[in-house]
Every structure is written in structure tokens, then in C-alpha cells.
Chains A and B, each alone.
Chain A
Amino acid sequence: MLRIDALSKTYADGNKALDTLDLTIGAGEIVALVGGSGCGKTTLLRLIAGLDTATSGQIRLDDAVISGPSADVGVIFQEPRLFPWLTIDDNVAFGLSDLSAFEREGLVANALTRVGLSGHGHRWPRELSGGQQQRAAIARALITRPRLLIMDEPFSALDPTTRQSLHRHLLSLWDESRPTVLMVTHDVEEAVSLADRIIVMRPNPGRLHEEFPNLLSRPRDRMGTGFESLSRSILKSLDQSLKPAPQPAARATAGEAAWW
């Protein structure tokens, strides 16, 4: 279980990216964060990954406080970020250096099969398409069996067909160990087809705006009425989350205009 208590992050330039955010995610739950730019989605993920430190507040995974990168947290970035000097096999096995070569081979072969890359293990990243590279990155993140997986718009650079096949691969790998998943996406359809819960965030500063439980049964039919109505209400909420401009900011702009 991931518990986030009163988490705030203010960057050195004074930009308040997150403001006292509370969020609890149950074990094995898949949660999608959607929101306009500047609402602190990526900041939140970076804090949970331990790549940045929070200004105040606390993140706890089960009973451990997260203060840096942890073995229990797997990360999938927007780009594949494979190491170009390692073969796909070695890239996927990057987090397994403690294991014997034999154990490693078995795990890597299994993970590559799960993401549909079996037989590609000996190739260099540059020889793979963008979708294949991202699949290798998914395998690399999940092979260490983290209890929490965080993903920052992992499929945004891919075309819709590739994206859907990656959703299947991701769910197949997820099914092996059922980690908690927290993902950021711009694509509402993607959120609805993957997540158990969708959270809309609000910008300036980043806060939670509205939550949508997703009770649709898997596999989800993109054409179904339930899918569509949920997508529509999320889009509506997204629209609202961006609309209400905070009053003080508006006054400041007016004052500025009058000044010169």
C-alpha cells in the first residue's frame, strides 16, 4: 500500500509544483493520474521514485518511508532510456546483477516472452523500433518484481495500435506479481482501459481535483457504453480542472497591466 501524506514540493525557483497532497493506493491497485500540464503529475512520480526530495510531507510504501530510490519501486519513463551499449538481454537484466547468470537468463527469457520480444535479446537497442524499446523498458522495470510500479506517460510517444498492444503486454506482466501501479497519462482512453481508479489533477499548484473509480470488468471494451460514459465524465472533469482561474492571480495580472 502506498500512502502519501501532505506532500508538497516547491522548486528552487519558487514554483510550487505540489501542494499538500494526500493519496492512498491499495496493494495491487492500478491508478492513473490525468491532468493538464503543470499540475505536478511528473513531480509526484519523481518524488515517489526517490529521484527528487519533497519540501514537506511523507511517502510510505507499506511501512517504509521513501527517501530515495528503492528496490521496491520500479520506474518506466516516457522514453525507453535503454543503455545503448547493452544488448536487450543485458538491459532487461540490468537490475539483476546480484543473481547468478543462470537465474538471470531464465528471468530475462521469461520477461522478454511476456512482452513479445523473445528472440530479440541479442540485439542492440538501436535495432529495435520505439515500441519494442519501450517493451524492453517495461520488462526491465518489472523483472525485479517491485511492489510499486510508476510510469510517466509511458506510451505517449507511440502510435495508437502499438499503444494498445503495449497495454496488453503491460497487463500480462503485471498479472505475474500484481504490483501496485501509479501511472501518469494524457490519454483518457488509456487511463480508462488500464486503471482501477482515475484521478484528475488540478494545476497551479498541483492538487487532486476529482476521483473516478473504474468498475468496468477486464478486458475492457473500448466501444462499450460504460467505457464511453466514464471517458466523457473524466474529460469533463479535466476541462473544469483547468478552468477556474484563481482570483488573486487574475487581479495581479490586471494590476500589472495598469502599471505600465
Chain B
Amino acid sequence: MTFPASTTQAGAPPAERLDAPASPNVAAGTMPVPAPARRWGTGGIVGFVLPFALALVWEASVRLGFSNGRLMPPPSRIGATLWDLAQTGELASHAAATLWRVAAGFGLGAAAGTVLGAVSGASPVMRRIMDPTLQALRAIPSIAWVPLFILWLGIFEASKVALIAVGVFFPVYLGVAAALSGVDRKIIEVGRVFRLSRLQMIRRVTLPAILPAWITALRTGLGLGFMFVVAAEFMGASEGLGYLLVDGQQLGRPDRILAAIIAFAVLGKLADGLLVVVTRPLLTWQDVGRDRL
């Protein structure tokens, strides 16, 4: 969207130009069909060909009797199961439970990661004190904490949220710390020339400079949050999409497992998309197309 945005703004009449800085993404939204988006669109359609073809082949082979489809149910049966789950309200309640856990864990982990990352990135002394410990903790596979968390926090929500928070914490911590220590000295010098105080420097220079890296770190963290919610719900959950997975296994219902997997994929993509959309106004200035990430 970089290129068309600049050309429309350059060619825009003065009247239109005035409101461009106030609402840059509105201007971007109303512009005539951008070329990269069209390319993305055809790419998207091409991308659908393979999975649809595979689904059709599988559906046909079950219908024609080449396979009984018991362990690998055909798309139509998965769709029907999803529909049933949605009808009875089960899907919504499981999804809500999972989303709540991810949101709580993500919130805690992202907040802690941001704060500690900021401290470690801003102060070399704190970095030398904290960073080795945190790096050592990072080397522990996060799932290994599960038994301890269950002992400490019980088998209900607290231990699950804690596990997700641990998963989210590290990418956010690393992202923020690295971004802070990597802020361009040259641009800091401009702030010094204008005699910014420490606080002004953070607000006017450092924060905007690390914003893109911070948001990327949050997106990575969110992805890990969805990974860890499954692990968390595998042990002793009575609701949630992860519970639906285990339940499907125990009842011998692969269609339910696959329905839950699809629900996870959709939720994860939606949550990531939401994060991108919410943060987009903050990053209109960037010289890259983030949509292509």
C-alpha cells in the first residue's frame, strides 16, 4: 500500500490534502484499487486451489468407497460437526473459554515482557543483572513448568493463564529489549540537539522508534499464546477448544478434533488480524508493507 498511497497523496488536490494527515488510513482505504492489493488478491485465490483440490479428492474418495473416512472424516462431515457444535452453542462457549485464557495470559505476559524488556533495554546495568537469568529461564521448554504451576496454582484457570503468560513473555521481552538497545544513535542525537529531557526523549523519540518492533513482538507473543493455550487445556480442562481436542480423542471422534483445529486456526488468524488492524494507525509512517508479513 506504500506506493499508491504516496501517488494519490502527491496528486491529490489541496482540499483533499488537508485532511490526509488527520486520517491517513481512511485516505488509504478510499484510494482506487491498489496494485499490490490486487496482486495479493490473485495470490490468495491461487493459494486456495491446493487445499480445495485436496478436500475435493478426499471427499470423492470417501463417497466412492475407496476409504471409509472413519479416522480421516471427509470435509462434509467436519463441516456438519462444526455446524452442530455451533448450533448447540458448544463451539461458542469453548471458544470463549479459550479466548479468555489467551487474553488473560497474553495481557499479563505482554505487560511483564514490555516492562522488563524496557528496563533491560534502557539500562545496561539492569541488563547485565537481569538478562542472564531470563535467558537461562528461556532455555527451559515452557511446557516443563506445567507440573509446577499445577502444584502452585491448582488445576483451574490460574495455572493455565500462568503457562500462557510465560509463553508470551519471552518474545515480547526479547523484542522490546533488542529494539531499545538498537535505537539509532543518530536520531537520538537529534533529540539531544533539541535538548529533550529524559522523559521527553522517551515519549518523542524512543517510544515511536521501537513501536514497530514492539508490535511485531506482540504478534509473535500472541501466536505463542495460542500454542500454549492448547497445552494448558490438555491437562484438566473441562471446557475450551483444547478440551474439545482431548474429548474428541477419547470419544474416538476425529471430526470433532478437526472441527476444533479449524476453530483454532480461525481464532488465531482473527486475533492476529485484530492486533494488526488496531495497531495500523500507529505505523502508517513505516516504509514497508506490513500486510505482507
Q: Which residues of A are at the interface with B, using a C-beta cutoff of 8 A? A: 49-51, 68-71, 73-75, 77, 79, 81, 83-87, 89, 94-95, 119, 122-127
B143 is an interface residue with CB less than 8 A from chain A: no
Contact B189 A83 (CB under 8 A): no
Q: Which residues of A contact B209 (CB under 8 A)?
A: 85
Q: Which residues of A contact B6 (CB under 8 A)?
A: 123, 127
Q: Which of A86, A89, A94 has the most CB of B within 10 A?
A: A94
Q: Which of A74, A123, A126 contacts B287 (CB 8 A)?
A: A126
Q: Which residues of B contact A75 (CB under 8 A)?
A: 193
How many B residues have CB within 8 A of the partner chain? 26
Of B9-17, B89-97, B216-224, B250-258, the stretch lying at the interface with chain A is B9-17
Contact with A along B274-293 (1 / 0, CB 8 A): 00000000001111000000
Contact B187 A122 (CB under 8 A): no
Contact A85 B195 (CB under 8 A): no
Contact A127 B211 (CB under 8 A): no
Q: Which of A50, A81, A123 contacts B187 (CB 8 A)?
A: A81
Q: Which of A51, A87, A123, A126 contacts B189 (CB 8 A)?
A: A51
**Chain A residue nearest in CB terms to B7:** A127
Contact B287 A81 (CB under 8 A): no
Contact A69 B285 (CB under 8 A): no
Q: Which of A50, A51, A68, A119 contacts B17 (CB 8 A)?
A: A119
Q: How far is the CA of A79 from the CA of B187 in the complex (A)?
A: 10
Known contacts A84-B286, A95-B194; is-contact A122 B20 (Cβ 8 Å) = yes
Give 21 A-B contacts (CB < 8 Å), ordered by A residue.
Answer: A50-B192, A51-B193, A69-B195, A71-B195, A77-B189, A77-B190, A81-B190, A83-B205, A85-B208, A85-B211, A86-B208, A86-B285, A119-B17, A122-B9, A122-B17, A122-B20, A123-B6, A123-B9, A125-B285, A126-B2, A127-B9
Contact B193 A85 (CB under 8 A): no
Contact B287 A84 (CB under 8 A): yes
B21 is an interface residue with CB less than 8 A from chain A: yes
- Besides the known contacts A69-B194, A75-B193, A127-B9, 13 further A-B residue pairs in the complex with CB atoms under 8 A apart: A50-B193, A51-B193, A68-B195, A69-B195, A74-B193, A77-B190, A79-B186, A83-B208, A85-B285, A122-B9, A122-B18, A123-B10, A125-B285
